């Protein structure tokens, strides 16, 4: 098991390879479809100067996403005495953010994208170019994953996006996942798809 703590260096990322088991600690944020669309359209590609509220959030995200992680998850939360905590937080399907992820990696210096099901060629190329990895979380284990979220530090865009789509700034303690896309251009998802195609072709030919 390889242990990483944000902020993560380029050298640490380059030591990772497809198939490595990782435990991640440190500060990260959740971010699903609405968050990625907002980051690209309102923070990355928007004309400068940004509106004050957007500039404030841009600066905040830059402060902890450089060398950090984004988690594709729509958590279930509870609030007690004004403090939020995660009840369940499984990884959501990541391919929906393929059209945005490469730009977010480049603009915010991400080192780790956590999700489920893998991503496509744009994200894989960004991982190789900017030295990042895709970490496949454990699907169907939302309560187990939530136990690794030991602190909710802040939340952004909660009223606008709703609880599942908001940016939840969190602190991980040993979140577990598998590297399935690395910074060397390898994708376990591509390898498995090719293997499936070869086996399927054999079955059809044999039939």
pLDDT at 207: 53
pLDDT band at 189 (very low <50, low <70, confident <90, very high): confident
Tell me whether residue 36 is one of the annotated catalytic residues.
yes
List, for residues 135-149, the tens digit of each pLDDT value.
999 888 899 999 999
Percent of the chain clearing pLDDT 90 (strictly above): 88
List, for residues 190-201, the tens digit of each pLDDT value.
755 555 445 445
Look up residue 30 and give its two tokens: 């959740």
Range 103-121 average pLDDT: 97
**What are all long-range contacts of 112-115, with beta carbons under 8 Å and residues at least 24 apart?**
112/4, 112/6, 112/8, 112/24, 112/28, 112/68, 112/69, 112/70, 113/69, 113/70, 113/72, 114/24, 114/28, 114/69, 114/70, 114/71, 114/72, 114/73, 114/175, 114/177, 115/71, 115/72, 115/73, 115/91
| Cβ-proximal residues to 50 (8 Å cutoff; 6+ apart), any chain | 42, 43, 58
Beta carbons of 75 and 88 less than 8 angstroms apart = yes
Per the prediction, the chain carries an average pLDDT of 93
Range 106-120 average pLDDT: 97
Beta carbons of 169 and 43 less than 8 angstroms apart = no
Range 169-183 average pLDDT: 97
List, for residues 24-64, the tens digit of each pLDDT value.
999 999 999 999 999 999 999 999 999 999 999 999 999 99
Of the residues 17, 36, 72, 189, which is catalytic? 36
Whether the pLDDT of residue 20 is over 90: the answer is yes
Q: Is the domain covering 2-206 a CATH 3.20.130.10 domain?
A: yes
């Amino acid at each position: 098991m390889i242990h990483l703590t944000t902020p993560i260096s380029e050298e640490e990322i380059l030591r990772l390879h497809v198939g490595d088991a990782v435990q991640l600690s440190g500060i990260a944020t959740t971010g699903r479809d609405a968050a990625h669309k907002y980051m690209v359209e309102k923070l990355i590609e928007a004309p400068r100067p940004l509106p004050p509220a957007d500039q404030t959030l841009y600066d905040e995200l830059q402060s902890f996403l450089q060398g950090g992680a984004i988690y594709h998850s729509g958590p279930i939360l509870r609030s007690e005495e004004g403090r939020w905590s995660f009840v369940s937080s499984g990884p959501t399907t990541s391919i929906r953010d393929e059209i945005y992820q490469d730009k977010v990696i480049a603009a915010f210096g991400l080192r780790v994208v956590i999700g489920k099901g893998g991503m496509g060629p744009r994200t894989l190329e960004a991982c190789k170019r900017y030295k990042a990895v895709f970490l496949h979380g454990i699907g169907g284990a939302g309560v187990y994953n939530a136990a690794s979220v030991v602190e909710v530090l802040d939340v952004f865009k909660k009223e606008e996006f709703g609880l599942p789509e908001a940016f939840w700034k969190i602190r991980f303690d040993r979140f577990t996942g598998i590297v399935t896309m690395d910074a060397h251009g390898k994708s376990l998802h591509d390898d498995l798809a090719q293997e499936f195609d070869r086996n399927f072709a054999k079955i059809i030919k044999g039939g």
